[in-house]
Amino acid sequence: MTEDSFDFTLESKCGQSWARAGLLSTPHGKVPTPVFSPVGTQATVKTMSPRELEQLGVSLVVVNTYHLYLRPGPEVVAQLGGLHSFMGWDAPILTDSGGFQVFSMKHLCSVDDDGATFRSHVDGSEHRLTPEKSISVQEQLGADIIVALDVCPPYPSDHEHNRVALDRTHRWAERCLEAHTRKDQMMLGVVQGGTFADLRAESARHLVSLDFPGYAIGGLSVGEPKALMHDMLDVTIPLLPEEKPRHLLGVGSPEDLFEGVARGIDIFDCALPTRVARNGTFFTREGRLNIRNARYRDDPAPVVEGCLCYTCRNFSRAYLRHLVVGKEILGMRLATVHNLHFMLSLMREMREAIGEDRFPLLKEQFLATYQVADYQAGKRDRQAWLGKLGASQGVSND
């Protein structure tokens, strides 16, 4: 398979917004866009089998380079035929660069112009991550789409800190392109710049000049207000080539999907739907439903009336609450099935609405009834989550 195996075709655009629908072709199949990709940190979407993902209509899975580098190791994966064979998934796969996890572990990591030195959260061993190393590992893993190594600054951080990170990101992007040898993989360059419009614009222009096959936007949804994230997308996206795919890294709440699609994003990935499912939280069109709430103890209704997912067609809120409160694995599985079905159905609705030139109306109708999770509460939850992971000396997407 060669680079000719990749193609991105725009099929329709909505005249009243930047929303667009397309088709991304890869060596392992086609991905209709806009698309939401579940995260399979350790070559598995938690609680789901590949067959179940296929039945749900998942067309792309994101897998984590950092975790697979440490365990079982890229050599093992390569020896067993690459990720598709290793995890029993014959559809498209995207691997991230591993940088986000490394840079998130401040107490275990030091960064310089050449790369990052970090200690494994598994056994404390020391490792070195450079642009060349990241690409080498991703080539061994064998995903269809890979990501250039970038520096993701924390929020908040000042202009100078982001300037240093941006310069490194740009130099590393050039080194990633030079190191990349596999023609059956598409590489995405990552736009950074924090929450500074001038740096975002500079980054977009520089990466476009390097002529990557596609572009990712990183460093957002890391604690900044939603409006600020939207402002950065408004600055960045018009500077990216219309004929190439755009991926918004690590963003995936329902309201963010609408805002991203409205601005021309094609690909989203996030562990949020699967992570909150394991805590008994279900997505609905009115907002999040916490099945642990005592009022659901004897509720015979499904989570969502009319929902066609396996969970809603077969089980009551009372039974689901019983499973979740009892910490039964089936409860986590059924919640994950529902949340992934919800997200994938939402993306199909968006794609259809774009083709019929009514996406703004769909967005308006959805956001009119959907109760967005409280920003400050979400921020506290994220900080608590990262703190818990930091305490165990490891950071995961999932």
pLDDT tens by residue, 267-288: 999 999 999 999 999 999 999 9
Residue 269 known to be catalytic: yes
Q: Is residue 396 part of a domain?
A: no
Counted domains in the chain: 2
- Residue 106: the pLDDT is 75
Shared-domain flag, residues 249 and 294: no
Looking up residue 98, the CATH number of its domain turns out to be 3.20.20.105
Q: Is 96 one of the catalytic residues?
A: yes
- pLDDT for residue 379: 55
Shared domain for 195 and 252, answered yes or no, is yes
pLDDT-based confidence at residue 1 (cuts at 50, 70, 90): very low
Does residue 384 lie within any of the structural domains?
no
8 Å CB contact between 231 and 198: no
pLDDT of residue 108: 83
Among 153, 120, 148, residue whose Cα is nearest residue 134: 148
pLDDT tens digits, one per residue of 222-246 = 999 999 999 999 999 999 999 999 9
Q: 59: closest CA among 282, 285, 246, 266? A: 266
pTM of the model: 0.94
Q: Is the pLDDT of residue 38 over 50?
A: yes
Query: So what's the pLDDT on residue 381?
Result: 54
- Helix, strand, coil % over all residues of the chain, rounded to 5: 45, 20, 35
State whether 207 and 346 are in the same domain.
Answer: no
**Displacement of CA 168 from its chain's centroid (Å):** 23
The single residue of 96, 144, 256, 266 carrying the catalytic annotation is: 96
Q: What is the pLDDT of residue 389?
A: 47
Task: Judge if 162 and 57 occupy the same domain.
Answer: yes
> Do 315 and 176 share a structural domain?
no
Q: Does residue 144 form part of some domain?
A: yes
Count of positions (residues) in the chain: 398
Strand positions, DSSP E, the chain: 7-13, 20-26, 29-33, 35-40, 61-63, 93-95, 109-111, 116-119, 126-129, 145-147, 186-191, 214-217, 246-248, 267-270, 281-284, 287-290
- Full domain range(s) for residue 69: 3-276
Is 337 in the same domain as 245? no
Among candidate residues 150, 256, 266, 269, the one labeled active-site is: 269
Q: pLDDT, tens digit, for every residue of 366-390?
A: 999 999 997 555 555 555 545 554 5
- Residues 292, 244 share a domain: no
Does residue 173 contact residue 207 with C-beta atoms inside 8 Å? yes
Show which of 276, 311, 344 is a domain's final residue: 276
Give the tens place of pLDDT for each residue, 147-188.
999 999 999 999 999 999 999 999 999 999 999 999 999 999
- Kindly state the average pLDDT of the residues 249-274: 98
Do 252 and 355 share a domain, yes or no? Answer: no
